[in-house]
Structures are given as structure tokens and as C-alpha cells.
Amino acid sequence: MNWIDIGHIDDIPLRGARLVKTPVGCIAVFRTADAEVFAASDMCPHKAGPLSDGIVHGQKVTCPLHNWVFDLNTGQALGGDQGQITTYPVRLDGGRILLDGTTVVRRSAA
Amino acid sequence: MTQKLVIIGAGMASGRMLEHLFDAAPDAYDVTLFNEEPRGNYNRIMLSPVLSGEKTFAEIVTHDAGWYAQHNVTCRFGEPVIAIDRSAKVVMGANGPVSYDKLVFGTGSSPFIIPLPGHDLEGVIAYRDLEDTERMMAMCAGNRVVIIGGGLLGLEAAAGMAARGADVTVVHIMGHLMERQLDEAAGYLLKKSLEEKGITVCLGANSKEILGKNGQVKALLLDDGTELPCDLLVMAVGIRPNVKLAQEAGLIVGRGIHVDDQLVTSDTDVLAVGECVEHGGAVFGLVAPLYDQAKVAAQTLLGQEAAFVQKSISTKLKVTGCDLFSAGDFASGEGREDVVFRDPARGIYKRLVIQENKLIGAVMYGDTADGNWFFSLIKDGADITDMRETLIFGPAYQGGATVDPLSAVAALPLDAEICGCNGICKGTIVDAIAGGATDLAAVRAMTKASASCGTCTGLVEQVMQVTLGDGFQIPAAASVCGCTDLTHEDVRRLIKAKELKSQPAVWQELGWNTPNGCHICRPAVNFYLLADWPLDYRDDPQSRFVNERKHANIQKDGTFSVVPRMWGGITNAQELRAIADAAEKYNVPTVKVTGGQRIDLLGVKSEDLPHIWADLNAAGLVSGHAYSKGLRTVKTCVGSDHCRFGTQDSTGLGIKLEKALWGSWTPHKVKLAVSGCPRNCAEATCKDVGIVCVDSGYKVGVAGAAGMDLKETLPLADVPSEQEAMDLSIAFIQLYRENAKYLDRPYKWVAKVGLDWVRERVVDDLDNRRALVERFEVSQSIYRKDPWAEHATQKAQGYAPLADLTLEAAE
């Protein structure tokens, strides 16, 4: 693990998301509760909608283009839709958000 | 050759048997049907909704005279059967004999009357048939009723009469209500709910004597000396199979008429179905096994192989507001483990009983949504080891499934039971839909699913939606979404009535089943709150669709479109120059003139939005709200300023309206237009609010549409002055904001409430019109502002990436 500080928890609105640009593409970092964050690919597998622009509810996000819903724990599409977004290890240290740098770099090399 | 079939008793079981028989072989039998009640078959388990007033008797009749006539059934209703001569194969009716090849007993059961002293007084009844129901329906405010028996039937009777205003007391001999279906904790919650409905519950109470006066019931005396005064006493303590006739005919009878797996009695030409039957030592009172019997009996009559098998059954109580469910065996015991979940504040209790890694019983109170899922685990004897930890939270928490009820339904296997009463599984419903049943009534007709007690109606509709997709809309009474059972109308009403002024208050007080809603309900609730409490509630951008959160329209490639406001469609060289400069500076790929008389810059990147807005603001341009469920545009023609036909200053009125209305949030988008003469160049007659100027003043029309539907505006009123035209428009929009369902355009809302209803409030009642305009102004004191300016100066950061790791990775 190589934890990279990507910002402060308050930089993300509660029940909202922000974008992080990485070598493996855009990653959305979601804040689902006061001190709960998830990271996943920003791109909906359906029609490439930007998930960081979706409505965040519970531990889920709804794609703004066609309302696909993803579980942020697993990245699995819910309901009748078939698909998955890549999830990335992320954690909080105090108020700082740390993203695992090895995953975003290693994948780019692969 | 057609054989002769005689049936004694027109009940739910024999009626269902006839349906199966006629479906399979319409001409196999010539049928004679005896019934002591002077009417045909109705859905007896729906008597409780009749009692509570939720249904009428006509609605629960399952076979009317026409049905019998259509199938050539000889009906001998109101005529008792005197005797049966099995050697001669003749049934002796009171009005004459009839011979048979096959005879079916459907004599049902009689309510058990405890032989207390005074049980034969006038006013002591059972709860069994329509006559009893009608007696109970006569009870209202001022009447006192005592019910002996705290089981399913007694409690439905109690709730029904309490709903009619009667003062109801339930006397139950056991320590808790519905002890055969519920454990103590659930019984306690049920008692509490009933007491909240004004019903008195006496537990552990032994009845001693029924007291009367002049032959009329007066009170029930308990053995502890308590006297419970009453005008009506209902005994609902159980049923006994009607076996007298069968016994006299020499058939083998125990508690009920003995039948084998084919429903044949000790005489091979005589069958029996329903509550009069004893099979494998058991008698039956609930509807599901009776229907199973009916099917098997019909097959036996047709010489087909079939066997009746007793299945475990589940129970629901048909009392509004008392949500309970129980299934299987829920007694504690050696080797059995309990999993319990309680939420006292919400009155929720769930208990699962597990034995050898299998679910064997479930009791739920307050939240029974997962009942059918638990029931299928019990029936299937599924191994629950892997999901034991989260089992009690239901299917939504197993293997990443979702709380969306539709997906839960989609995930059900085809053999999953949907309608417990009729034993209809999902596959049968799906087949019926494939066979052309595209509405609920057709599915009911073809499969019987949800045609008995009706509690599975929602589930059947969900199966239809999953199967038909967009081709099927769940009827308007559907709930907002899977997070709640409430409808939009309920939610709007409760937000006002309970003065709920925050989202957490709505989730908690209205019992949302998700922590903070979903993408369907949250935008609606956010709107309702800000419309009803403009000064108390703060708009939540995170509950808005991205367009309204980012004040621009998302495009299919994730870029955005930017539309500055042009008041009444009027612009000038300086504004056009600023737009042109912005288009060049931000490499805008497409510049388009819109239908709402302004200019759209398409293909702007999210991070550029605050900057392009700042540039446009500098030229005096503000947001055009082309993205909002709110005021969009006021389209105008040039009117009397330039046009030789113009009658009034339509452009000027359009600009005034737009300046008054802009920034306001509405249930759906709102578009206006003002035309300067009846030639109507601004196309005002297909707008949400459209004004056509004439020489004598202004014709204000509302509820037009030119989108999914095409509708001409309806005339709201003709007024002489510009101010009145403005007030009418604003009052109409405020009425719409306060009352419409989220995502209903004005034309849909007006179709629901009626134009007259709107006119009364907006046109006729001047005080109300003024009050509406004032409330709109209060709201506009918060929302009439340019969101672009605010975001460009204070929130620009949120539009850029939180971090850029592409550079670090390259190092």
C-alpha cells in the first residue's frame, strides 16, 4: 500500500462526490456519511456517465445519465442491470482522505 | 356422455373447484349446486374489508348469477339438503330429489358458539357470513361491542367496527393475542396498535356468563366479576366442520369428513373439499389449502392423477395499520436458535427461528416487507449458514442485492410463490403476461393471483413491471419509490400536517426504510420541503439531479450546456458579443438557438463552468435555468412595440413575468409565452401558462403542453389589466408549487384536480389569489437570485478535480 493524500473530507459534500484524475482514468471519491468515503471508477459501464455527478444515497450512487445504481462496497450494478465499476482502497486518517496509490499506478502499467 | 355432478355448498372451495372443472372440461358434467345461504359464492375472507368499509359486498362476489348461467349450473340456493341416499345415488333437497354420478361435499364449517349461559340471547352472533357482517356494520359511534376471541377473525371484526366508531372490547382467554400465529412480543405490539385505534383488549380473561335484558344481550360477565356492557356480542373463537349431513349419509367422519389425498371420502363417488374436510388428522380454516384442495378435487373428478399435500402456510392480518406476518414454527425449544431485531421507536419486531441451519419459523411485526422471502426459505428448507449474520435484514442484504423491490422481484425464481392464497408462482404470472395479460385485472382473471385477500397486489404489479418493463405503469396509487409505502400525495400532505421541515424529519417520522432515500424520492422530498417551508428549509444540492446541482445540462458525453437568460427573448449587441467571446475562449463546439428564444452553448467541460459563468456575469448575463424543474423561459413576440397587429406590449409583459418568476423551483419545468395578438406568434397556447393579448386585455390560458403530449391551454380567465394577468399567472404557479406531485407538469396536475378547482382558488377567490402571490414572494425572497454568480465566486472549487495524480505517477 502506498497511501496518497488526495484532500480533506470537507472538500467533498456530504452525500456527494469529487473527481480524482489518475493514470488509470478518473476516479470518483464518494462521501456517503460524515466520516465514510468510497472510491470507484468514475465511468458508468453502461454509457460512460460520470458517476461523480450522480446522486449518492446510502452506500450507493445513481448514474446521472440513465439511473443505473451501483453498490459502492462491491462496485456491482444493482437492480436488473448487469455491470461493475472498479473500486479502489481509500481510507480516512483524521480528516485526510488517503487513496491507495499502488492500485492506480499498477493498473496503468498492466 | 355428460355425467351428473351435485355439489352441496357454494363456498370458496367448491366455487374454485368448479372454475378448474369448467376450465379443463366445460362439458364433462351437468352441475347442480345446493346452497343454504340464499346467494352464490363470494370471497368470504374479504368480509373484513367489507366490515371496515374498504370494500362493498358487490366487490367481493366471485361468481354472480351470470356466471352460473353461462356454465349451465342449476342453482338451488336457499334450499337445504335433507338427506342423501348413496345406494340410489340421489340427493334429497327440500324441494325435491336429484340424482348424481358424482357428489361433492362443500358444506364448510360453522362458527363455534361457547355454550355460556345467555349464548342464545338476541345480539349474540358469530362472525361468519354476510348477515353477521351486516349486523356488525350497523354498529357505530355510541354502540358498545364485545368480541370473545383474540384470533385472526376476532381482531379483524374488532378493527372493522372500531373503524365505524363503535366502542370495542376484545376478550381473549390466552396471555397474548393471536397466540397460534404470534409470539408474545409481536402479540404485545399488536395489542398496542389496536389500543391506539381505541380498542380495549382484555387478556387472560375467562368469560362466565352473558347477561341480558328482555331477551337482548346487555353485558358480558367475566369470572373475576368484571362486567363489560355491550349492544352486540361477537363470538369468534373458532370453527367446526359441518359434518352432520355426511355422518347421516354414513360416510366416515372424524372432526371433519375423512378424505384421502384425492379428496375422495369413504365412498368412491363422493368427494369433499374445504372446511368440512379432515385430511391426515388436520382440518383447515385458511384459504390457501382450500384452494389446493379445490384444484385436486377437480382433477380427481376428471379422472386425472393429483394429490393434495399439506404445506406450511403463512398468515397476515387484514387490519390497516397492523402489519404482521408469521410463518412456520416459531416456538422456542431445544436445538432452536432465535435471531431477533427490535426497533421500539418504530414499533418493529422481527424474530427468526433457526434449527440445524435452516429457517423454520418467522414472526414479524411493523415491517413485513420481507415476509414472503422468509416464507420461501422456510418452505424450501434452504441452508442459511452463509447468510445467517444478515438474514434478518432480508433479501436486500444478501449477496449485494438491492433494496429496490423491483430488483428483488426480478431476482425471484419462476417457482417463487407470489400469491399465497391461490398458490400462484411467478412463472404462472409471467406466462399469463406473455399470453396477453397486460393489466392487473387481466392477470387476476387469468391466474387468480391477488384475487383473494389482495395483500400481494403490489407484488403482482411488480412482477408485471419487471416483465413488461416500460409497457406497464404501476397505477397512480403506487408509492414514491422502494424507500417508502407512501404515495407522493401522502408525503406532501404529511409534510404539511406534521410540519416536517427537514429531510431527517421526513425519513424518521414517515418511516423511510433507507437511511437517506434514493435518487427517486430525495429530489421529490427536497422540493416538497422547500416549497412548503421556504424560510425554514435549506435547499439541498446533494438531493438534486446533477443539472440542478451544477446549474447546467449534462450531455451524453459528460460535458455540459450553458444557456444564459434572455429576458423575454430580448438581447443586444453587448450580450451577443460576450456570448461569442465565451464560445471562443472555452472552445465551445456547438452554439445553438433554442426553442425558448435564447442561445445554448453546448459541450462545456465541468471545470470550465464557473469561469464561463464569471465571464457571462461580467456582461450582465445570468443563468437561464435551462436545466431546472423551475421557471424556464417566457417566450414573446414583439407586440405593440413594432408589430402592426400587436394589441398590447407582449414583450414588456413577458419580461416583467420572467423577472418576477425566475429562480423559482416548481414540481416540473414551467414554460410561459405571451403573444401580442391572436395570431399567436409566440405559440402561447401550448405553454404551461400562455397569455394571448387582445384589444380588450389579456386571455390567460394554463395547462398546455407540447412535449410528450400535445395539449392546447385551457382558458383560466380573461382580464383587462396587465397587473391582473401577472397576478393570475403567479397565483397559478404558486398553487401548482404547493399541490402538485413532483414531476407532474401543470397539464397533468390540472387534469387531476380539475380546472374548476384551480379557478375557484386563483380566479374567483381574490383573497386567496393575493395570499398565493404573497407566499410566492416569500419564497422568491430566497430563490430569486443568480446561482451562477454564487457558484462562480464561492463554489468554483467543487467543479475542478479534487486531486490530479497523473503528474505524480509520471514522476
- Does A52 score more than 90 pLDDT? yes
B637 is in an annotated binding site: yes
Please tell me which of the candidates B523, B545, B804 has its beta carbon nearest to residue A21: B804
Dist CA B744 CA B614 (whole Å)? 34
Number of domains into which chain B is organized: 5
Choose the mutation target among B412, B462, B802, B806 for the interface with A, i.e. most A CBs under 10 Å: B802
**Beta carbons of A108 and B407 less than 8 Å apart:** no
Residue B353 CA: distances (Å) to CA of B117, B326, B337, B367, B754 = 42, 11, 6, 17, 53
**Beta carbons of A19 and B801 less than 8 Å apart:** yes
In chain A, what are the helix, strand and coil shares in percent, each to the nearest 5? Answer: 15, 50, 40
Q: Are residues B135 and B70 in the same domain?
A: no
Across A17-21, A25-29, B222-226, B632-636, least confident range: B222-226
Neighboring chain A residues of B606 at a CB cutoff of 8 Å: 50, 53
Neighboring chain B residues of A69 at a CB cutoff of 8 Å: 402, 404, 518-519
Q: Are residues B746 and B638 in the same domain?
A: yes
- Chain A residue with the nearest C-alpha to that of B605: A50
- Chain B residue with the nearest C-alpha to that of A23: B806
**Beta carbons of A105 and B523 less than 8 Å apart:** no
**Beta carbons of B808 and A4 less than 8 Å apart:** yes
Choose the mutation target among A8, A9, A21, A99 for the interface with B, i.e. most B CBs under 10 Å: A21
Q: Which amino acid is at B442?
A: A
Dist CA B800 CA B609 (whole Å)? 9
Q: Are residues B514 and B646 in the same domain?
A: no
Q: Where are the beta strands (DSSP E) in B78-132?
A: 81-85, 90-93, 96-99, 102-105, 109-111, 124-126
Dist CA B203 CA B196 (whole Å)? 16
pLDDT tens digits for B362-412? 888 888 888 888 888 888 888 888 888 788 888 777 654 444 567 767 777
3-class state of residue B564 by DSSP: strand
Last residue of a domain, one of B265, B283, B301: B301
**Beta carbons of A20 and B801 less than 8 Å apart:** yes
Q: Are residues B79 and B103 in the same domain?
A: yes
Please give the interface size between A and B, counted as residue pairs whose CB atoms are below 8 Å apart. Answer: 123
Q: Give the pLDDT confidence score for residue B811 in this predicted structure.
A: 44
Tally of CA atoms within 13 A in the half-sphere of B341 that contains its CB: 17
**Beta carbons of A57 and B517 less than 8 Å apart:** yes
Residue B129 forms part of a structural domain = yes
- What is the strand order of the sheet B314-316 is part of? B314-316, B324-328, B358-365, B348-355, B336-343
- Does A101 score more than 60 pLDDT? yes
**B772: burial class by Cβ within 10 Å (0-12, 13-18, 19+)?**
buried
Residue B655 forms part of a structural domain = yes
Q: Give the pLDDT confidence score for residue B595 in this predicted structure.
A: 92
The 10 Å CB-count burial string (b at 16+, else e) for B314-337 is: bbbbbbeebbbbbbbebeeeeeee
Which residues of chain A have a Cβ shorter than 8 Å from any chain B Cβ? Answer: 4, 6-7, 11-16, 18-23, 26, 29, 47-50, 53-58, 60, 62, 64-65, 67, 69, 71, 73-74, 76, 78-80, 99, 101, 104-105, 108
CB A52 within 8 A of CB A64: no
**B807: burial class by Cβ within 10 Å (0-12, 13-18, 19+)?**
exposed
CB B124 within 8 A of CB B212: no
**Beta carbons of A22 and B809 less than 8 Å apart:** yes
Please tell me which of the candidates B556, B606, B809 has its beta carbon nearest to residue A105: B809
3-class state of residue B34 by DSSP: strand
3-class state of residue B615 by DSSP: helix
B677 is in an annotated binding site: yes
Q: CATH homologous superfamily for A13-88?
A: Rieske [2Fe-2S] iron-sulphur domain (2.102.10.10)
**Beta carbons of B522 and A54 less than 8 Å apart:** no
- Chain B residue with the nearest C-alpha to that of A98: B803
Q: Are residues B644 and B592 in the same domain?
A: no
**Beta carbons of A57 and B514 less than 8 Å apart:** yes
Q: Are residues B232 and B254 in the same domain?
A: no
**Beta carbons of A23 and B519 less than 8 Å apart:** no
CA angle B118, B121, B127 (to 5 degrees): 100
Dist CA B14 CA B1 (whole Å)? 23
CATH number at residue B205: 3.50.50.60
φ and ψ at residue B292, rounded to 5 degrees: -60, -45
Q: Are residues B754 and B664 in the same domain?
A: yes
pLDDT > 90 in chain A, percent:
67
**Beta carbons of B803 and A79 less than 8 Å apart:** no
Q: Are residues B208 and B284 in the same domain?
A: no
Residue B745 CA: distances (Å) to CA of B687, B736, B739 = 10, 9, 12
Dist CA B553 CA B547 (whole Å)? 5
B693 is in an annotated binding site: no
Range of the domain at B535: 488-544
Please tell me which of the candidates A7, A74, A108 has its beta carbon nearest to residue B809: A108
DSSP state of B672: E
- Alpha helices (H) along chain A: 101-109
**Among candidates B59, B14, B53, which has minimal Cα distance to B35?**
B14
Q: Are residues B508 and B588 in the same domain?
A: no
Choose the mutation target among B393, B397, B402, B791 for the interface with A, i.e. most A CBs under 10 Å: B402
Full-prediction pTM beyond 0.90?
Answer: no
Neighboring chain A residues of B802 at a CB cutoff of 8 Å: 6-7, 11-12, 18-20, 29
Choose the mutation target among B404, B468, B519 for the interface with A, i.e. most A CBs under 10 Å: B519
Q: Are residues B669 and B729 in the same domain?
A: yes
Residue B423 forms part of a structural domain = no
Q: Are residues B540 and B556 in the same domain?
A: no
Neighboring chain B residues of A46 at a CB cutoff of 8 Å: none
Neighboring chain B residues of A29 at a CB cutoff of 8 Å: 802
Q: Give the pLDDT confidence score for residue B474 in this predicted structure.
A: 63
Dist CA B117 CA B504 (whole Å)? 57
3-class state of residue B313 by DSSP: coil
Ranges under pLDDT 70 in chain B: 1, 317-321, 331-333, 344, 398-405, 408, 451-455, 473-477, 808-811
pLDDT tens digits for B321-355? 678 888 887 766 677 787 878 776 777 888 888 88
**Beta carbons of A6 and B805 less than 8 Å apart:** yes
Please tell me which of the candidates B466, B515, B802 has its beta carbon nearest to residue A58: B515
User: What residues does each domain of chain A span?
Assistant: 13-88
**Beta carbons of B518 and A60 less than 8 Å apart:** yes
Separation of CA A15 from chain center: 12
Dist CA B251 CA B292 (whole Å)? 23
Q: Give the pLDDT confidence score for residue B404 in this predicted structure.
A: 59
**Among candidates B97, B108, B95, which has minimal Cα distance to B243?**
B108
B75 is in an annotated binding site: no
Q: Are residues B284 and B231 in the same domain?
A: no
Query: What is the torsional sign of CA B540, B543, B549, B553?
Result: negative
- Which whole number is the average pLDDT over A40-46? 94
